[in-house]
């Protein structure tokens, strides 16, 4: 063994020891109180989404219920919650707004508030909560596809992580397409007193098209938000501003469509419950909990538990609302979930490779520094 190799051995051993310590620490931290708290928060988050699907669906059963007016009231409540929070919590994070930034926030409102909420309600009206929840599992793959198309995400198909992300995206979008175009035979049918009303509204193809369009809108919103947050890091303020702009857009549409003052009145407990729940819980509490979960566990962990929401929605909707499950929906949902996990696995492997590359670069740097020091000592340079 050469002298240089002998000298470099302690450095390599230190690197290996650091890796082993990190792995042991990771195993010990799996069931810490902080991790348990995170898992409980994620479970609460999924239950809130389940209730959102069900409560909104029940409100949509009322034929006199104006969907666009519902969105107006929902966003008023959301703005009343988000506005003060953004003002007090992000005083030091806000920067001066430019025209270019305001224009980008305007389009964030278009994709993230107006079209996202309108398409979701239309999709939920014509389809079911189960289909709505299952379709939303394709959002990470769609977001990745849009990011790759506009250059925000780099893909190397010669590596396993790049290939996994590509195949996952194809599987997720293919599953969403199957859910849209192929209904299949009924598998599970619940019992409901309002079954005839449900069956009269269930135009699944149209509903799934709306839901697929909503997922595309959501993916565009996430990518645009990522671009804006690099220039303007006050996330809560951007959310509040986009909510305000979206409220103006939705109110303008509602004023054109709903000219009858009676349509602006809340006529039932179901409508009031849906407005309060979506405005306070979905737009306020859920946003706060989701942000905390992303900070503590990362976006991948938050996305991984999403399919459990679909299972819960399918069970509750079948039990309480009499929703039906069809073979086309099940096949499509399975493909969407497989695609979701494939994309997430690719993202995890990409991060591991990046960390490994950084460690190797650090090791090379240490070896080069040691080599230069040895050369200086050999040459008699102090």
pLDDT tens, residue by residue, 147-198:
888 887 777 778 888 888 888 888 888 887 787 777 777 775 544 444 444 4
Predicted local distance difference test score (pLDDT) of residue 273: 87
Give domain status of residue 306, yes or no: yes
Collapsing DSSP to helix, strand or coil, 187 comes out as strand
Exposure string for 98-107, b = 16+ CB within 10 A, e = fewer: eeebeebbee
Q: What confidence category does residue 109 fall into, taking pLDDT thresholds of 50, 70 and 90?
A: very high
Helix (DSSP H) and strand (DSSP E) numbers for the chain? 16, 2
Euclidean distance between CA atoms 93 and 83, whole angstroms: 15
Give domain status of residue 305, yes or no: yes
Predicted local distance difference test score (pLDDT) of residue 368: 60
Output the CA–CA distances (angstroms, integers) from residue 358 to 65, 70, 153, 187, in the order listed: 56, 51, 19, 51
Number of neighbours of residue 252 by Cβ within 10 angstroms: 12
Give domain status of residue 40, yes or no: no
Euclidean distance between CA atoms 346 and 256, whole angstroms: 46
Most confident of the ranges 294-303, 344-353, 372-381: 344-353
Phi/psi of residue 69, each to 5°?
Answer: -70, -40
Number of neighbours of residue 21 by Cβ within 10 angstroms: 10
Three-class SS of 207-240: HHHHHHHHHHHHHHHHHHHHHHHHHCCCHHHHHH
Print the domain residue range for 343.
47-348
Q: What confidence category does residue 261 fall into, taking pLDDT thresholds of 50, 70 and 90?
A: confident
Predicted local distance difference test score (pLDDT) of residue 196: 46
pLDDT at 5 over 60: no
Of 118-127, 140-149, 323-332, the poorest mean pLDDT is in 323-332
Predicted local distance difference test score (pLDDT) of residue 245: 94
Euclidean distance between CA atoms 129 and 123, whole angstroms: 9
Instruction: Give the distance between the most distant pair of CA atoms in the chain.
Output: 94
Predicted local distance difference test score (pLDDT) of residue 191: 45
Q: What confidence category does residue 326 fall into, taking pLDDT thresholds of 50, 70 and 90?
A: confident
* Eight-class DSSP state of 189: E
Mean pLDDT in residue range 112-124 = 91
pLDDT at 237 over 50: yes
Predicted local distance difference test score (pLDDT) of residue 315: 80
Euclidean distance between CA atoms 139 and 141, whole angstroms: 5
Q: How many domains does the chain have?
A: 1
What's the mean per-residue pLDDT of the chain? 78
Residue in the block written with tokens 């369009």? 213
Q: Which of 260, 327, 309, 373 has its CA nearest to residue 136?
A: 309
**Beta strand 186-189 pairing with 324-326:** antiparallel
Mean pLDDT in residue range 129-138 = 85
Tokens matching residue 106? 């305007």
Q: What confidence category does residue 254 fall into, taking pLDDT thresholds of 50, 70 and 90?
A: very high
Q: What confidence category does residue 103 fall into, taking pLDDT thresholds of 50, 70 and 90?
A: very high
Number of neighbours of residue 257 by Cβ within 10 angstroms: 13
Predicted local distance difference test score (pLDDT) of residue 244: 94
Could you tell me if 292 and 27 are in contact, meaning their C-beta atoms sit under 8 angstroms apart?
no
pLDDT at 16 over 60: no
For residues 225 and 371, which has the higher predicted lDDT (pLDDT)? 225
For the purposes of burial, counting CB atoms within 10 Å of the CB of 169, is it exposed (0-12), middle (13-18) or buried (19 or more)?
A: buried
Predicted local distance difference test score (pLDDT) of residue 195: 46
pLDDT at 357 over 90: no
Q: What confidence category does residue 9 fall into, taking pLDDT thresholds of 50, 70 and 90?
A: low
In sequence order, which residues have a C-beta less than 8 Å from that of residue 45 and are 6 or more positions away? Answer: 286, 289, 290, 293, 302, 305
pLDDT at 369 over 80: no
Euclidean distance between CA atoms 168 and 170, whole angstroms: 5
Give domain status of residue 56, yes or no: yes
Could you tell me if 135 and 176 are in contact, meaning their C-beta atoms sit under 8 angstroms apart?
yes
Give domain status of residue 367, yes or no: no
**Cα-to-chain-centroid distance, residue 113:** 14
For residues 243 and 333, which has the higher predicted lDDT (pLDDT)? 243
Euclidean distance between CA atoms 234 and 94, whole angstroms: 6
Give domain status of residue 32, yes or no: no
Read off the pLDDT of residues 42-92 as tens digits, 9 standing for 90 and up: 889 889 988 988 888 888 876 567 888 989 999 999 999 888 988 888 888
Of 6-10, 45-49, 278-282, 360-364, the poorest mean pLDDT is in 6-10
Mean pLDDT in residue range 199-205 = 60
Could you tell me if 263 and 60 are in contact, meaning their C-beta atoms sit under 8 angstroms apart?
no
Mean pLDDT in residue range 341-368 = 70
């Amino acid at each position: 063994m050469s002298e240089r190799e002998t000298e470099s051995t302690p450095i390599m051993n230190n690197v290996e020891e650091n890796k082993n310590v990190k792995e042991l620490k990771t195993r010990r931290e799996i069931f810490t109180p902080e991790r348990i708290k995170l898992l409980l928060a994620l479970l609460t988050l999924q239950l809130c989404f389940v209730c959102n699907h069900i409560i909104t669906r029940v409100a949509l059963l009322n034929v006199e219920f104006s969907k666009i007016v519902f969105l107006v009231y929902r966003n008023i409540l959301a703005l009343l919650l988000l506005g003060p929070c953004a003002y007090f919590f992000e005083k030091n994070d806000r920067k001066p707004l430019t025209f270019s930034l305001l224009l980008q926030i305007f389009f964030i409102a278009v994709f993230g508030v107006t079209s996202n909420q309108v398409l979701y309600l239309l999709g939920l009206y014509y389809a079911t909560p189960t289909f709505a929840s299952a379709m939303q599992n394709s959002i990470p793959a769609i977001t990745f596809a849009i990011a790759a198309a506009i250059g925000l995400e780099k893909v190397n198909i010669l590596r396993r992580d790049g290939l996994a992300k590509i195949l996952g995206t194809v599987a997720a979008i293919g599953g969403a397409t199957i859910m849209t175009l192929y209904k299949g035979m009924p598998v599970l049918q619940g019992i409901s007193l309002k079954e005839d009303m449900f069956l009269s509204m269930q135009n699944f193809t149209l509903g799934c098209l709306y839901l697929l369009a909503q997922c595309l809108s959501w993916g565009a919103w996430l990518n645009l938000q990522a671009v804006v947050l690099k220039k303007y890091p006050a996330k809560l303020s951007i959310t509040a501003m986009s909510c305000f702009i979206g409220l103006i857009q939705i109110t303008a549409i509602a004023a054109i469509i709903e000219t009858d003052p009676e349509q602006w009145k809340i006529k039932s407990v179901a409508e009031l419950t849906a407005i309060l729940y979506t405005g306070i819980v979905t737009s306020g509490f859920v946003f706060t909990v989701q942000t905390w979960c992303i900070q503590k566990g990362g976006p991948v962990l938050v996305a991984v538990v999403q399919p459990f929401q679909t299972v819960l929605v399918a069970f509750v909707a079948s039990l309480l609302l009499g929703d039906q499950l069809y073979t086309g929906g099940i096949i499509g949902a399975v493909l969407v979930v497989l695609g979701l996990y494939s994309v997430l696995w690719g993202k995890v492997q990409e991060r591991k490779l990046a960390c490994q590359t950084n460690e190797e670069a650090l090791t090379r740097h240490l070896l080069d520094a040691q080599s230069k020091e040895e050369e200086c000592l050999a040459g008699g340079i102090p």
